[in-house]
Chains A and B, each alone.
Chain A
Amino acid sequence: MTVAVLDHTRDRSARSNSSGAALSLRDVGKSFGAHRVLEGITLDIEAGEFIAIVGRSGCGKSTLLRLLSGLDTTTAGSIAVDRMTDGWRDAVRLMFQEPRLLPWQHVIKNVEVGLSGVLSRVERRGAAEQALAGVGLHGRGRDWPMLLSGGQKQRVALARALVSHPRLLLLDEPLGALDALTRIEMQTLIEQVWQEKGFTAIVVTHDVAEAVTLADRILLLEDGAVAMDLCVDLPRPRLPGDQHAAAIEGILLKRLLRR
């Protein structure tokens, strides 16, 4: 079911077109033993689209993200990134709910983890410095991760994910552990880098408001299948309290709460 909400000027085509990857999932399934987590997922995602996947705990949304990141393999169906079913791992980066920084390496070294080994030491350092500046942490490269606040750590994790210029960025509830204000700042930052760089973004979240703030399109998963496919056609940046956004949130929450 597709619900189009209003028709504002779509800024998507205006964005630098497009370093993002297009995804196509055909009948994707994943089972652990006899337990089926995902079944019959068929999806096409445009290059440069911002997708949010919402659903209750255990609906399979994190599993879907792990399949896309290559951390797990499908047990049925196929995933193609830019029509390639293989060899696309390097174009994909995953950001976790926790920052997962190496505590024994300086911030700058943690960002360099996101780079593959082909670059020279100077190039790596330069790219990492740039990525760090891009998330507003210019000059913090020599700090130990333990000295950073939760929001700053997650910014470093974002820089690490972005430093290799991925064409698909996956975010697994990346803001779940942050306080409300830091979360809004991070949402703004993520939206901003997404608009600048034009990668395809897929965020898994249980926060419906966050999904509506960030996504072009929201997929609602239920029992391992796509139950709703909603297009969010609202101008950016979307401010809290917008009534159209609230309407979409209402539709999603109603379905999630099964009222």
Chain B
Amino acid sequence: MRARLIPWLLPIAILVLWQAGARLGFIQPTVLPSPTAVALAGWNLAVSGTLWTDIEVSAGRAFLGFAIGGGIGFVLGLLNGLSSASEAITDTTLQMVRNIPHLALIPLVILWFGIDETAKVFLVALGVFFPIYVNTQHGVRSVDPHLLEMGRAYGMSNRALFLHVVLPGALPSIFVGLRYGLGIMWLTLIVAETISATSGIGFMAMNAREFMQVDVVVLSILVYAALGKLADSTARLLERSTLAWNPVYAKV
């Protein structure tokens, strides 16, 4: 029980100091409103319902982009991990594209898609693609060749080899890509929504800035943080349950 509380001590202490600082006048409300003010702003937005629709819109964009970019990355990663012919054809090209920071494409993306949904989903998909691709390919490549040989000697079909040897063997690496990809997903979305949006959390923040509602701006930052943490925790939970065979993941 105590071990579970320890990680939360520091955040709570920061919150208490922040609240005290705001209450005693050390921190100006126009710079940083107190935690209670932020909570109140959140409460009001939650009651009116706009907070939920904004979260829904943002999460929808994030996960659609993730599904598209991650899906393509996963399939290409598997293909290039399994087949050296496929790798010879595509890998060099992909590695060249990988070295372009995807956020540098924003002006071009706006020219192509305008500022509507497609632009944001495209950016997220592009950002998520590479970590998933690279880690899936690496995972497939690093599957123990001894186990593959064993599978062949024991008459496993290609399908059985893939399902029981290659995929589970690549899974730890695939999860690294997944968690990394989730981080990039939120990062890309924040940037894309801040630049141009008419709904979503980024829009909420930029809109609040126009009206000097610092509490809402801080709130939207916290919402991003909470969503990111939630996605990461879910991935970790998934990781821990599927990799239970591995003592590195089994503990806790």
A contact set with B: CB distance below 8 Å: 69-71, 89-90, 93-94, 96, 98, 100, 102-105, 113-114, 116, 144-146, 160
Chain A's closest residue to B150 (CB) is A100
Is there contact, CB below 8 Å, between A102 and B147? yes
**Given A96-B150, A103-B245, A146-B246, are A116 and B155 neighbors across the interface (CB < 8 Å)?**
yes
Interface size class of B (residues with CB under 8 A): 20 to 34
Residue of B150, B171, B245 contacting most chain A CB atoms (<10 Å): B150
Among A93, A94, A113, A146: residue with most chain B CB under 10 A:
A113
Q: Within 8 Å CB of A144, what residues of B?
A: 244-245
Known: A96-B146, A98-B146. A71 touches B245 (CB 8 A): no
Q: How far is the CA of A71 from the CA of B244 in the complex (A)?
A: 32
> In the complex, what residues of B have CB within 8 A of residue A146's CB?
245-247
Asked if A69 and B153 sit within 8 Å, CB to CB, the answer is yes
Tell me whether A70 and B153 are in contact (CB under 8 A).
yes
**CB–CB A105/B164 < 8 A:** yes
A212–B153 Cα gap in the complex (Å)? 28
Q: How far is the CB of A169 from chain B (nearest CB, A)?
A: 12
Q: In this assembly, does B174 line the interface, its C-beta being within 8 Å of a C-beta of chain A?
A: no
B112 at the interface (CB under 8 A from A): no
Rank and list the top 10 A-B pairs by shortest CB-CB distance, nearest first: A104-B168, A100-B150, A104-B245, A144-B245, A94-B153, A100-B146, A103-B245, A71-B153, A113-B154, A69-B153
- Contacts from B to A (Cβ < 8 Å): 146-147, 149-156, 164-165, 168-169, 171, 243-247
Task: Determine the chain B residues whose CB is within 8 A of the CB of A103 once the complex forms.
Answer: 245-246
Q: Is the CB of B168 within 8 A of A102?
A: yes
Given A102-B165, A103-B246, answer yes or no on A89-B155 (Cβ-Cβ < 8 Å). yes
Does more than half of chain B's interface fall in helix, strand or loop, or is it mixed? helix
A102-B165, A104-B245, A104-B246 known; 17 new pairs, CB 8 Å cut-off, are A70-B153, A71-B149, A71-B153, A90-B155, A96-B146, A96-B150, A100-B146, A104-B171, A104-B243, A105-B168, A113-B154, A113-B156, A116-B155, A144-B244, A144-B245, A146-B246, A160-B154
Complex formed: what's the CA distance from A103 to B164 in Å? 11
Contact status B154-A102, CB under 8 Å: no
Q: What residue in chain A is nearest B147 (Cβ atoms)?
A: A100
Closest to B156 in A: A113
Q: How far is the CA of A116 from the CA of B155 in the complex (A)?
A: 8
Q: How far is the CA of A105 from the CA of B169 in the complex (A)?
A: 11
Q: Nearest chain-B residue to A103 (Cβ)?
A: B245
Which residues in B have their C-beta under 8 angstroms from that of A102? 147, 164-165, 168
Q: How far is the CA of A105 from the CA of B244 in the complex (A)?
A: 10
Shortest Cβ distance from residue A66 to the other chain B in the assembled complex, whole angstroms: 9
Compute how far the CA of A94 lies from the CA of B171 in the bound complex, rounded to whole angstroms. Answer: 27
Residue of chain A at shortest CB distance from B157:
A117
Residues from chain A with a CB closer than 8 A to the CB of B165 are 102
Separation of A103 and B146 alpha carbons in the complex (Å): 12
- A204 → B minimal CB distance (Å): 14
Note all chain B residues with C-beta closer than 8 A to A71: 149, 152-153
**Can you offer 10 A-B residue contacts whose CB atoms are under 8 A?**
A70-B153, A71-B153, A89-B155, A100-B149, A104-B245, A113-B150, A113-B156, A146-B245, A146-B246, A160-B154
What is the CA–CA distance of A30 and B150 in the complex, to the nearest angstrom? 21
Which A residues are CB-close (under 8 A) to B156?
A: 113
Separation of A96 and B144 alpha carbons in the complex (Å): 14
Bound-state Cα–Cα, A104 to B163, Å: 12
